[in-house]
Each structure stands twice: as structure tokens, then as C-alpha cells.
């Protein structure tokens, strides 16, 4: 014999919209026990490798995917500057080049360019601004992969 039951379902979205409805549930008899075994899963290893000179020879998207995709916004900024400057410390890079490089790879970098990213990267010591609209890599920019 099939038993039925009514249930009310209420779903609230992040924006506060509420959906409400009724559902008819039917009993399909006793369920068969399912054997479950406890397993431990190791967390995926995060790469803490720092970029090398050979990594800078990769196409921009590959380089940024490998190093910048998991970095903070400050780190992402440093990696974009590094990719444009080919890792040369002290080489001036124009803000326009950075914006263009960022926006061409915004999918990998997680969104559009924001000017505050340069400020945050400068606070970390990975880049410096020599004058308005100009950025240079600093020694230790590779550490942006770890922080």
C-alpha cells in the first residue's frame, strides 16, 4: 500500500526572494540499507612554487593560470607586472599595459582590473610606483605566489 504525505517547501534566495510550494511525497516501501565506508580524503596540495625565468617564457594566460589564479589581488597584480616586464626588476611598466594585460586575462584573474590592486601589491613590497602611471618589479616579487 502506497502512503502519501504533503510537504511545504520554502526556499529563500540570497537577495531575500522567497519561493513557497507544496509537494506530494509517496512512500515506496522500505529502503534497502546502503553500506557506507568512512574514508579520509587528503586536501589537494597547493602549489607554493615560485616562478622561475623559464616560467616567464610561457604565454601570459598560462603563466597567470599557473601562479596568479590562487594568489591575492596584490599577488595577481605583481604577476601581471612580472609577466609584462619578463621578470626584470626595475623595468618600468605603464599602467595602461597592466590594465590591458589584466583585462585580457580577467577570467583567470577573477574579474576586472581595479587600481587598488597596485597599492596593495606596493604595500607588500612586490612592486613600486616610480611615478604616476608607472610600475616596477621589486626584488622578491616571486613571493607573491605564497602570500
Q: What is the pLDDT of residues 111-121, one digit of tens each?
A: 999 999 999 99
What mean pLDDT is predicted for residues 63-86? 92
DSSP state of 89: B
Which of 40-44, 93-97, 132-136 is the least confident region? 40-44
The pLDDT value given to residue 138: 95
Say how many residues make up the chain. 147
Helices (H), the chain: 60-67, 73-85, 95-104, 106-109, 116-124
CA nearest neighbour of 78 among 122, 129, 111 = 122
Q: How confident is the model at residue 13 (pLDDT cuts 50, 70, 90)?
A: confident
The pLDDT value given to residue 25: 79
* Whole-number Å distance between alpha carbons of 98 and 133: 10
Residue written as grid cell 602570500: 147
Residue written as grid cell 610561457: 58
CA nearest neighbour of 144 among 93, 68, 56 = 68
Q: Is the pLDDT of residue 109 over 80?
A: yes
The pLDDT value given to residue 121: 95
Q: Is the pLDDT of residue 40 over 80?
A: no
Q: Is the pLDDT of residue 35 over 70?
A: no
Amino acid at each position: 500500500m502506497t502512503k502519501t504525505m504533503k510537504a511545504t517547501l520554502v526556499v529563500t534566495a540570497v537577495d531575500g526572494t522567497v519561493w513557497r510550494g507544496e509537494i506530494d511525497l509517496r512512500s515506496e516501501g522500505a529502503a534497502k540499507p546502503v553500506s557506507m565506508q568512512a574514508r579520509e580524503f587528503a586536501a589537494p596540495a597547493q602549489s607554493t612554487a615560485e616562478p622561475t625565468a623559464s616560467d616567464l617564457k610561457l604565454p601570459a594566460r598560462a603563466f597567470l593560470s599557473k601562479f596568479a589564479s590562487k594568489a591575492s589581488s596584490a599577488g595577481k597584480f605583481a604577476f601581471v607586472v612580472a609577466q609584462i616586464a619578463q621578470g626584470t626588476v626595475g623595468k618600468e611598466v605603464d599602467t595602461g599595459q597592466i590594465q590591458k594585460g589584466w583585462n585580457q586575462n580577467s577570467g583567470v584573474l577573477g574579474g576586472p582590473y581595479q587600481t587598488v590592486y597596485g597599492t596593495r601589491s606596493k604595500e607588500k613590497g612586490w612592486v613600486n610606483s616610480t611615478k604616476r602611471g608607472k610600475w616596477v618589479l621589486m626584488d622578491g616579487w616571486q613571493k607573491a605566489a605564497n602570500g
